[in-house]
Structure formats: C-alpha cells, structure tokens
Amino acid sequence: MNTLLKDGMELAKVVETLEKEKTSDALVIIAPPYTHLSRVKELIENVKLSAQDCASEASGAYTGEISPGMLVSAGVEYVIIGHSERRTIFNEGNVLLNKKVKLALSQGLKPIFCCGEVLKQREAGELFDVVREQLEVGLKDLSREEIDRTVIAYEPVWAIGTGEVATPDQAQEMHKFIRDLVAELFDEQVAENMPLLYGGSCKPSNAAELFAKPDVDGGLIGGASLKAEDFLAIVNAY
C-alpha cells in the first residue's frame, strides 16, 4: 500500500524505460495498487502487469472487493495470491486461497501463489510441514493446464522486516523442497518448469547470490521495488 497515483505512474514509467535498457532477459512484472492498474497499463510495453490480490467471488454483493474479471478488463495478466500479509493481517486461510487461485485461473489470470513460514514455525521445526500444507491445499484440484500457468513464491516471513536474514542456502533448501513437492503433487515436468520466486528481502546486494542457487528462479520484490534503480539492479542481477 504505497504511492499515490501520480507517484505510482512515475515509478512505472522509470521501470519501463530502464527495462528497455536492461542487460537481463528476465520476465519483469510490476504489481501496483488497484487504483493504478488501468493507468499503468497504458504506460508499459516491456513489463507485465499484476494485481496484489483478488476476490474469491466472480461478482455480487461484496462491497470493496475486486474480482479477477475486473482485473482482466483493466489489462492485468498476473495476480498475487496468499501473500504473507494477506495471510497474517487479514487471516486468509489455505481453503479460501485455493478458491481464489481457481477463480483467477478460470478468468484467465496467472496466479503468483505465496507460501512460507513465520519465525515461531521455523524455530519449532515446522517449516516444511507448514509449506506442504499451504501448497497441498492452496493448489488442490488444479488441472495440468492450470498448474502450468501458476507461479510459486516462497516468503520466509521471519526474514521480512524482522532483522533476521535468510541465507541463500536457506532459500535454496526450501525452494528445493517446494520443487520436489510440486513433482510429488503433479509430475516432474511440471516441477522442472515451475518458476519459483524468493520473497524475503531480496535487494541489489544479495540478489545475484540468491539467483545463483539452482532452484531460485527469480524474486518477489517488496521494499526495493519502490526505487526503480534498485528494482532494475535486481533484475539485472538475474
């Protein structure tokens, strides 16, 4: 929940301009607030557009909600679902998130599905059980075509804004677990093709080391995305 419309559009313009000059072949996606989406869409060609969330219903008496269909009509291609802040602050559970994923896919969006453990769960040794349940329930009953359009982002919630830092080895350990789990739930080819993003305080100073890990395919960038130069430095690190 950052930037007013004018500032958000300026940020998108700079990212679009720098994207044309980047040295990386990474796919770049930006996820501004709902109020910016349609205006930002008019400014971008080289980057893709995502929403930060969507409703679990297609339409109806759900005042304040934004449906996947509304997002598609604004030119959105991707949607973040199950972000750690939606889970912890707004108490969104795995069953609800599965409903969002299915509806988003049915409307033509590509979900960026987030998973990850909090510090208490990591300290208790529950990190793999937590992520397994999040993915087993959150991605339940997806078809092969649907899972092929889905991205997974791992967020070590304990390493976001807490002063704790996840090492590249810790990121790789969980990403490898997630890839193996996707192979178990679907098949090896799905797992091999699945983009796995790291979402734990990725910044220019650590991006290259994180992206060098074999199962880290990119980043879900938070604070660093508010500075275009930092964001594109992370892109170029890819």
Give the active site residues.
83, 155
Burial of 60 (0-12, 13-18, 19+ CB in 10 A): exposed
Q: How far apart are CA 196 and CA 215, in angstroms?
A: 7
Say if CB 29 and CB 50 are below 8 A apart: yes
Say if CB 179 and CB 195 are below 8 A apart: no
Instruction: Name all contacts of 141-145 with Cβ < 8 Å and 24+ positions apart.
Output: 141/98, 141/102, 142/101, 142/102, 142/105, 144/186, 144/190
Q: How far apart are CA 114 and CA 138, in angstroms?
A: 9
Considering only CA atoms, give the Rg of the chain.
17
| The pair of three-digit structure tokens given for residue 160, joined into one six-digit string | 């976001």
